[in-house]
Amino acid sequence: MSAVSRGLKNLINRALGRRGYHLINTRTQPWQPTLAAGLRRLASRKLDIATLIDVGAADGGWARAFIAAMPPCPHLLLVEAQSFHQAALSRFKADFPQAQVVMAAAGPTQGEIWFEAANPWGGLAAAKPDGREGRWIRVPQTTLDHEVNAHRLPGPYLIKLDTHGYELPILQGASVTLAQTAALIVECYNFDMAPGAERFPAFCQHMESLGFRCLDLWDPLYRDSDLALWQFDLLFVRADRPEFLTPVHPQAKPPASP
């Protein structure tokens, strides 16, 4: 692919990425940090996912990419707080009748939560607005444990979180589900997204305390203003996976004896 073609593809992907879509390059190398390559690597790990739990599902574009890369996925749970996406998610439901769509924010308890809804492709849940600017509204809040039980969704689960700093409260409401979770894909950040949110080094440590380790990374984004690393998706899998039994690169040579 020429430099011009790569540049054009990157511009298109950045625009589409705000809406949950990506161009798929069938010639993508297996090691590249793209969604398409990352999902192919994930499919090769044979995790036998029975239910995809997509939190921050937006219009269902990410879930469609997942289904295309990892068929079959018999059960789907899409959770989205933004009513802006309700019509698109109704179309998703028509295309995938097995899907359960819940219009709510996920969190630690059932009830209601504040949600900053100014950007329909963004959004942020918070216990209280804390004086931050935006269009704060009250939306229903549910827990992943409640929804999994209510819809009788079987494991193993894959949980995807695109939740802009509200990851820890969501995981608090998913303790039962996590016991049967094979993998999580989490949008992680290099900056402080919200009060109580963890930047990616601390979040990785938190995931290790829950029995998961980071195995893959894709879709890094950089700030336009200063080209600082902003965010990326991390794949977490069970810490006892066989990949972690090889402590060094298999092609690395042992150090020479003194």
The 3-state secondary structure of 209-234, one letter per residue: HCCEEEEEEEEEEECCCCCCEEEEEE
- pLDDT of residue 197 exceeding 80, the answer is yes
What whole-number distance in Å separates Cα of residue 113 and Cα of residue 168?
15
pLDDT of residue 71: 84
pLDDT of residue 127: 85
pLDDT band at 248 (very low <50, low <70, confident <90, very high): confident
pLDDT band at 193 (very low <50, low <70, confident <90, very high): confident
pLDDT average, residue stretch 233-254: 84
pLDDT average, residue stretch 121-136: 82
- pLDDT of residue 14 exceeding 90, the answer is no
pLDDT band at 195 (very low <50, low <70, confident <90, very high): confident
Q: What is the pLDDT of residues 46-74, one digit of tens each?
A: 999 999 999 999 999 999 999 999 888 88
How much is the mean pLDDT over the chain? 88
The SS3 assignment for 177 reads helix
Backbone conformation region of residue 169, classed left if phi is above 0, alpha if psi is from -120 to 50, else beta: alpha
pLDDT of residue 227: 96
What whole-number distance in Å separates Cα of residue 60 and Cα of residue 101?
10
pLDDT of residue 24: 47
What whole-number distance in Å separates Cα of residue 208 and Cα of residue 253?
28
pLDDT band at 252 (very low <50, low <70, confident <90, very high): low
- pLDDT of residue 250 exceeding 90, the answer is no
Sign of CA dihedral 42, 243, 231, 137: positive
- pLDDT of residue 134 exceeding 90, the answer is no
- pLDDT of residue 167 exceeding 70, the answer is yes
pLDDT of residue 118: 86
pLDDT of residue 4: 44
pLDDT band at 9 (very low <50, low <70, confident <90, very high): low
Q: What is the pLDDT of residues 23-49, one digit of tens each?
A: 444 455 788 999 999 999 999 999 999
Provide the percentage of residues in the chain whose pLDDT is more than 90. Answer: 71
| Structure token pair of residue 70 | 């990892």
Residue type for 32, please? Answer: Q
pLDDT band at 214 (very low <50, low <70, confident <90, very high): very high
- Domains, the chain, ordered by start: 45-239 (3.40.50.150)
pLDDT average, residue stretch 135-161: 97
